[in-house]
C-alpha cells in the first residue's frame, strides 16, 4: 500500500484535493475528523482536554466547544502545544488503525492522510509521498473568513502557527495550486493521482 501525506495550511484547498483523490479511487483520511472524534464526549482525549483547559470550554450539553477551545490555544503557543500533546497520540493511533485496515483489504491501495500541520509536527515522515496544496496567503485569509466565520485576527493567529506554504511546497513531492479554478485543481490532482498509481506494482 502506498501511504501519502496531504497537507497545506489553513484554507489552502487541501480538503478539495483530498475529496478529488477519493473520487479517483484513493482512500482519504482526514486528521481533522479524527481530532474531532477524540475530543467528542466519548473520545479518548475528552476528559484530559477538559481537565487541562477547564469547564469554560464546555458547551451546555457538556461537550467541548471547539470554538472556545480554539480561542484559547491559537492565541497562546504553549497552550496549543499542550493541546496537541493530549490529542495527537490518539489521532495517530486512529490513523494507524484505519491504515492497517485499508492495507489488509487492498495491498495496492493508495491511502491519503490529510492534516494541516503535518510538517510542523514532523508526521509527514510517516508517508512515502507528500502532496502540498498551495494558494496565496490573501486567499487563505478570505477563504477562512468566509468558511469558518473567523475574524481577520483569528485567521492571522492560526496562520502564524503554521509554516508558510511556500516553504512547505519546497518539501513536497507534488504541489497542487488551488488558486486558479476548481477545474484546474481537479486536472492537477488527476495528474498527481496518475503519478501515484504508476508507483504501484
- pLDDT at position 143: 94
pLDDT in tens, 86-112: 999 999 999 999 999 999 999 999 999
Alpha helices by DSSP H, 39-181: 46-53, 66-73, 77-105, 118-121, 137-148, 152-160, 165-169
Q: Is the pLDDT of residue 201 over 80?
A: no
pLDDT in tens, 148-189: 888 898 888 889 889 999 999 999 999 999 999 999 999 999
Task: Tell me the sheet residues that pair with 141.
Answer: none
Count the domains in the chain. Answer: 1
Task: Give the strand order in the sheet containing 2-7.
Answer: 27-30, 110-114, 2-7, 129-134, 174-177
Q: Which CATH number belongs to the domain containing residue 24 in this structure?
A: 3.40.50.300
- pLDDT at position 150: 85
CA 99 from chain center: how many Å? 16
- pLDDT at position 95: 95
Query: To the nearest whole number, what is the mean pLDDT of the chain?
Result: 94
C-alpha cell at 136: 496565496
- pLDDT at position 55: 86
The H or E element containing residue 166 is helix 165-169
Give me the mean pLDDT over the 29-54 stretch: 94
In the chain, what percentage of residues exceed pLDDT 90?
83
CA distance 173 to 2: 14
Residue 38, classed as helix, strand or coil, is: helix
Q: Which residues contact 169 (CB under 8 A, 6 or more apart)?
A: 132, 134, 175
Q: What's phi and psi for 161, nearest 5 deg?
A: -95, 0
- pLDDT at position 53: 94
- DSSP 8-state secondary structure symbol assigned to residue 105: H
pTM of the model: 0.90
pLDDT in tens, 115-138: 999 999 999 999 999 999 999 999
CA distance 20 to 160: 28
**Could you tell me the residue range of the domain that residue 188 belongs to?**
2-198
Q: What's phi and psi for 3, nearest 5 deg?
A: -100, 125
Q: Are 111 and 103 in contact (CB under 8 A)?
A: yes
E strands within the chain? Answer: 2-7, 27-30, 110-114, 129-134, 174-177
Amino acid at each position: 500500500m502506498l501511504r501519502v501525506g496531504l497537507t497545506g495550511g489553513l484554507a489552502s484547498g487541501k480538503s478539495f484535493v483530498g475529496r478529488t483523490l477519493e473520487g479517483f479511487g484513493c482512500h482519504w483520511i482526514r486528521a481533522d475528523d479524527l481530532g474531532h472524534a477524540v475530543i467528542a464526549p466519548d473520545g479518548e482525549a475528552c476528559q484530559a482536554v477538559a481537565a487541562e483547559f477547564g469547564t469554560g470550554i464546555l458547551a451546555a450539553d457538556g461537550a467541548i466547544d471547539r470554538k472556545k477551545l480554539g480561542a484559547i490555544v491559537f492565541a497562546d503557543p504553549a497552550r496549543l502545544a499542550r493541546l496537541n500533546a493530549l490529542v495527537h497520540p490518539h489521532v495517530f493511533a486512529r490513523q494507524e488503525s484505519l491504515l492497517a485496515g485499508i492495507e489488509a483489504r487492498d495491498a495496492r491501495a493508495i491511502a491519503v492522510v490529510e492534516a494541516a500541520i503535518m510538517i510542523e509536527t514532523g508526521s509527514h515522515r510517516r508517508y512515502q509521498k507528500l502532496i502540498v496544496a498551495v494558494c496565496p496567503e490573501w486567499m487563505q485569509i478570505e477563504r477562512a473568513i468566509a468558511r469558518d466565520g473567523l475574524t481577520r485576527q483569528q485567521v492571522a493567529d492560526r496562520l502564524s502557527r503554521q509554516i508558510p506554504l511556500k516553504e512547505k511546497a519546497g518539501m513536497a513531492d507534488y504541489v497542487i495550486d488551488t488558486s486558479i479554478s476548481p477545474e484546474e485543481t481537479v486536472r492537477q490532482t488527476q495528474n498527481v493521482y496518475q503519478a501515484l498509481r504508476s508507483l504501484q506494482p
